[in-house]
Structure 1
Amino acid sequence: MHIKFKSKLRKQIKSKSYCKLPLLLLWQSDNFHNGRFYTKQPQCLDIPADLRLCHNVGYKKMRLPNLLDHETMPEVKQQAGSWVPLLAKRCHADTQVFLCSLFAPICLDRPIYPCRSLCEAVRDSCAPVMETYGFPWPEMLTCDKFPIDNDLCIPMTPVETNMSKVCPPCDNELKTDNIMEHYCASDFVLKMKIKEVKKEKGDRKLIAAQKKKKVLKQGVLRKKDLKKLTLYIKNGANCPCSQLDSLGSNFLIMGRKVDQQLLLTSIHKWDKKSKELKFAIKLMKSYQCPTYHTVFQ
C-alpha cells in the first residue's frame, strides 16, 4: 500500500464519513470485533521481518487481532506463511495488498477492510492458479463478506493487471528457497524422465518414462503409481511450459494427489551444473519442513 493511500485513509477516518460504514468495520475498544470477544485489547505492532507475506507491503505497523481472527503473532506467521508462494505466481498485482489487509491490517484509527471489487479481482485471477495445485478459493476469503466499494475500503491499484500466462507449475525459478517451499508443500518429489505429453479435457497429461525413477519424497505414492506414473497440469492444455519443449533430460518433479489424480505442482529440468539444485537436493535429506505444509491455505 502506498504512503499516499495510507495518508488518505487517515484523513477519511478522522472525518464523520466512517459513520456510514457497517458495524462490522468498527474496531471496538471493548475487545469485541467481528462478532467475537478477544482476551486482549487491539494492539499496534511492527510487522516482523519473518512475516514474509507482508514485511515489504508498504507500511510498517499492523493491528492484532487481525481481520481473520488471529490474536497472536505466531498464529499470524503460521497461517500467512502458506500464502507466500502465491505472490511468486504473479496472478494479480494486488494479491499482496489484499492478503495483507486481512493478515496484517494497517494500523489506523479503525480497521479498514479490502473492497469487494479488490477481492473479486484477486479471486478471479488467482483462483485458477490455486486450482492448478488442487486448492479451492477458501471460504474465509468469500468476497461477499467485504464492503462494496466506498471511500473507506482498500481499492484496487489503478493499473492494468497482468496474469502470468505461463503454466503455474512451470513458472518457478531454480532457486533453493523456491525448491524447498514446493518440496514441503508437495506430497511427492521425484527425479524422472517424461516419455510423452498430451492434452486431455483442458488439462496437460504427462506420461512418465518407464526408466527407473529416483524417489526423493515418496509420500502418498504407491509402488503401482510409480510403475505407470501419469501427472496432470490442471487447466494447462494451452499455457506455455518451456521445460516441456524438450523431453530428453531428467526432470525434478513435485506433485500432490487430489481426488485420486496426481497433479504436477512444480517442474524443473535437472541441471547438473546448478549449485542451487545441488544444495536443495542435499537439504532434502534432513530438512524439517514448517508446520504448515500447503502452498496455499
Structure 2
Amino acid sequence: KLTRLETESLTQASEVFYANPVSDFVTLAEFGTVRSACKPVPNTMGLCFGIGYGEMRLPNLLGHDSAREAQQQSAAWMPLLGKHCHPDTRRFLCSLFAPVCLPEVTAPVRPCRSLCEAVRDACLPVMSAFGFPWPEMFNCSRFPDGSELCIPGERDSNRGSVMCEVCSPDSGGEQEIQQNFCKSQFAFRLRIGSWSLVGTDVRVVPQGRSRVLRWAGEQRAAMEQSTLWLPHRCPCPALDGQHTGSYIALGHMQNGRMLLRRLLKWSRGEKELKKFIRMLLRQNC
C-alpha cells in the first residue's frame, strides 16, 4: 500500500513538478477530448480497491476513460497476483489501471521505471511459461527514471516472505502439472542432489540421471548440464529438509538455462507415481 508519507511526498513534489502523460500511451486526456478527473476507486475493482488511496485519475495511463472500463480490463490481470512473482505487482498494475489522484497534478502519476523493471524481471518468466510476452503498453522505458514524480516500489518489502509459486505445495499440484505438461518445453522425473544460491537465483542440481518425460527445447545439449534454475530467491518448501524421494519438474528454456515452472515433491508411493507418469505420457502434445 501507499503510505501516508509517500502520498504526502507525492503531493509536495507535485507543487514543483507537472506530470506530463506518457506520449506513447493513447489516452483521451492527451487530445483534450475528455477532461482529466478524480473518481472513486470502485469497490468492485478487485485489483486495486483498498490499495491505500480512495480516488483514481481518469483517463488512466492505458486510455480507459471510465471506472467501469478500467475495472473490466484490470480483471484480466488478477491471476498474475496469485502467482506471487513480485510483492509490488499490484502496486505497479494499479499505477496504470487506477493511478493515484493528486489534486495538484492534472495528469496520472506514472510508476517509476525501477518499479516497472523489478516487476517485469520477476513476472516475465511466469508469463512466458504460459506463452504471454511482456505487453508493449507496459514498456518500462516509457516511465520516469526516478528524477521525476513517480510511484516507487515498496522500499521495505521482503521478497523472501513470498513463497515461490514454482514450489507451492498446494493440493492442485498434480492437476497443474497435468494441465501444463504439453505447454512446457521440458518435464523430468528426478531426484535432487543439492541446491545453492547464485546471485539472486537458486541453482538446483539433480542427483544422477533424470528421466526425460518431455523435451521440446531447441538444444538438447543444454539438458546435459543437469542444472535447473529458480529465478529470484524465495522460500521453496520442496527444497527444505532431506532431499529424499522423487520430484517432477516442468519448465522452459531461457537464455540457455532451464528455468523451472513447477517443482513438485511426490508425496505418495512409487506405484502411484508410475501411474501418474503414464497418464502424462499418454497426452498428445
Shift of 1:219: 9.0
- Superposition pairs for residues 259-278 of structure 1, below 5 Å? 259=255, 261-272=257-268
Is the 2:48–2:98 contact (alpha carbons within 8 Å) kept by the matching residues of 1?
yes
RMSD between aligned residues? 5.6
| 1:234 to 1:25, Cα distance in 2 relative to 1, 3 A | closer
Shift of 1:246: 3.4
Q: Is structure 2 residue 254 aligned with structure 1 residue 258?
A: yes
Q: Paired residue for 2:29, among 29, 32, 48?
A: 32
| 1:122 to 1:247, Cα distance in 2 relative to 1, 3 A | same
Unaligned runs of 5+ in 2: 270-279, 281-285
CA shift digits 1:24-68 (9 cap, x unpaired)? 389xxx9332xxx5987767464464x554344234554454213
Equivalent-residue separation in structure 1 for 2:165 and 2:207 (angstroms): 17
| 1:63 to 1:172, Cα distance in 2 relative to 1, 3 A | farther
Equivalent-residue separation in structure 2 for 1:182 and 1:22 (angstroms): 48
Q: Paired residue for 1:68, among 62, 84, 89?
A: 62
Is the 2:188–2:210 contact (alpha carbons within 8 Å) kept by the matching residues of 1?
no
Matching residue of 1:277: none
Q: Paired residue for 2:122, among 113, 118, 129?
A: 129
Matching residue of 1:98: 92
Q: Is structure 2 residue 134 aligned with structure 1 residue 161?
A: no
Is the 2:163–2:236 contact (alpha carbons within 8 Å) kept by the matching residues of 1?
yes
Q: 1:243 corresponds to which letter in structure 2?
A: A
Matched residues, number = 253
Which deviates further from its counterpart, 263-272 or 51-60?
51-60
Matching residue of 2:238: 243
CA shift digits 1:195-237 (9 cap, x unpaired)? 5447798762544866767x6xx69469x79x9795521567x
- Superposition pairs for residues 193-232 of structure 1, below 5 Å? 193-194=190-191, 196-197=193-194, 204-207=203-206, 220=216, 230=226, 232=228
Q: The residue matched to 1:100 in structure 2 has which SS?
A: helix
| 1:232 to 1:127, Cα distance in 2 relative to 1, 3 A | farther
Q: The residue matched to 2:159 in structure 1 has which SS?
A: coil
Q: TM-score, normalised by structure 1?
A: 0.54
Equivalent-residue separation in structure 2 for 1:272 and 1:228 (angstroms): 28
Q: Is structure 2 residue 167 aligned with structure 1 residue 174?
A: no
Equivalent-residue separation in structure 2 for 1:25 and 1:250 (angstroms): 50
Structure with the greater relative contact order (CA < 8 A, sep ≥ 6): 1 or 2? 1
Shift of 1:21: 0.8
Equivalent-residue separation in structure 2 for 1:182 and 1:5 (angstroms): 47
Unaligned runs of 5+ in 1: 274-283, 285-297
